[in-house]
Amino acid sequence: MLDFQNNTLNIDDLPRFETVKGHPVAPAYLKVLRIIYAFWVIVLVGVLIVLKFKANPPAPFYYTLIGVLTFVFSLLIIEIERGFQKRKFGIREKDIIFQKGFFVFKETIVPYKRIQHVEVKQTLVFKIFKLFTLKVYTAGSSAGDLSIKGLNQDDADKIKAQILKVADIDEN
Q: Domain containing 56 — which CATH number?
A: 2.30.29.30
| Domain-embedded: residue 76 | yes
Distance CA 109, CA 7 (A): 24
| Domain-embedded: residue 6 | no
| Domain-embedded: residue 67 | yes
Q: What is the pLDDT of residue 167?
A: 78
Domains in the chain, number: 1
Q: What is the pLDDT of residue 12?
A: 83
| Pairwise pLDDT comparison (81 vs 8), residue with the higher score | 81
Write out pLDDT tens, residues 106-163. Answer: 999 899 988 999 999 999 999 999 999 999 998 876 666 899 999 999 999 999 999 9
Q: What is the pLDDT of residue 145?
A: 85
Q: What is the pLDDT of residue 170?
A: 64
Write out pLDDT tens, residues 41-79. Answer: 999 999 999 999 999 899 999 999 999 999 999 999 999
| Domain-embedded: residue 154 | yes
| Domain-embedded: residue 17 | no
Domain limits for position 113? 23-172
Q: What is the pLDDT of residue 142?
A: 60
- Find out whether 22 and 88 touch, Cβ atoms under 8 Å: yes
Q: What is the pLDDT of residue 127?
A: 96
Does 27 score more than 60 pLDDT? Answer: yes
Query: What is the pTM for the complete model shown?
Result: 0.81
| Domain-embedded: residue 8 | no
What confidence category does residue 2 fall into, taking pLDDT thresholds of 50, 70 and 90? confident
From 122, 90, 123, 93, select the one nearest 108 (Cα to Cα): 90
Q: What is the pLDDT of residue 143?
A: 60
